[in-house]
A and B are shown apart, each in its own frame.
Chain A
Amino acid sequence: MQYLLLIYRNEAEQAKMDASELQKMTADYRAFTQSIIQSGNFKAGDALQMTATATTVRVRDGKMLTTDGPFAETREQLGGYYLVEARDLDEALGIAARIPTARVGSIEVRPIMVYD
Chain B
Amino acid sequence: MTPREIEKIFRDEAGRALSTLIRLVGDFDLAEDALQDAFAAALERWPAAGAPSNPRAWLVNVGRNKAVDRVRRNIAFRGKQQQLTHELLLNASLPCEPSDGGFDDDVLRLIFTCCHPSFAAEVQVALTLKTVCGLTTAQVARAFLVSEDAMAQRLLRAKQKIRLAGIPYEVPERDALGPRLSGVLAVIYLVFTEGYAATSGEDLMRPDLACEAIRLARLIDALMPGRGEIKGLLALMLLHDSRRAGRETAGGDIVLLEAQDRSLWDRAQISEGLLLVEEALRMPGRPQSYAVQAAIAALHARAPSYDDTDWRQIAGLYEVLLRISPSPVIELNHAAAVSMVDGPARALDLIDALEARGGLKGYELLPAVRADLLRRLGRRDAARAAYLEATAATQLEPLRRLYARRIAEMDRD
Contact = CB atoms under 8 A, between A and B. Distances in A.
B176 A111 contact: no
A92 B172 CA distance: 14
Contacts of B172: 90
A1 to B, nearest CB: 4
B201 interface: no
A116 interface: yes
Contacts of A21: none
Interface in B88-132: 116, 118
A98 B80 CA distance: 39
A92 B168 CA distance: 11
A3 B167 CA distance: 12
Nearest to A93: B118
A116 B166 contact: no
A89 interface: yes
Contact of A116 (B81, B165, B168, B176): B81
Given A116-B80, A116-B81, A89 B165 contact: yes
Given A111-B164, A111-B166, A90 B176 contact: yes
A76 interface: no
A89 B118 CA distance: 9
B167 A88 contact: yes
How many of chain A's residues touch chain B, expressed as a range?
10 to 19
B30 to A, nearest CB: 15
A86 B166 CA distance: 9
Nearest to A86: B166
A14 to B, nearest CB: 27
A97 to B, nearest CB: 11
Nearest to B116: A89
Contact of A89 (B80, B81, B168): B168
Interface string A79-116: 00000001111101100000000000000000101001
Given A90-B176, A93-B118, A1 B80 contact: no
Nearest to B84: A116
A86 B176 CA distance: 17
A93 B166 CA distance: 11
A88 B168 CA distance: 6
Contacts of A93: 118
Contacts of B176: 90
A46 B164 CA distance: 25
A81 to B, nearest CB: 17
Nearest to A90: B168
B118 A88 contact: no
A111 B168 contact: no
Interface in A61-92: 86-90, 92
A1, A90, A93, A113: residue with the most chain B Cβ atoms closer than 10 Å: A90
A113 B164 CA distance: 8
B212 to A, nearest CB: 27
Interface in A25-76: none
Nearest to B118: A89
Interface of A: 1, 3, 86-90, 92-93, 111, 113, 116
6 contacts: A87-B168, A88-B166, A89-B165, A90-B176, A116-B80, A116-B81
Given A88-B167, A111-B164, A111-B166, 5 more contacts: A86-B166, A87-B168, A88-B166, A89-B168, A113-B164
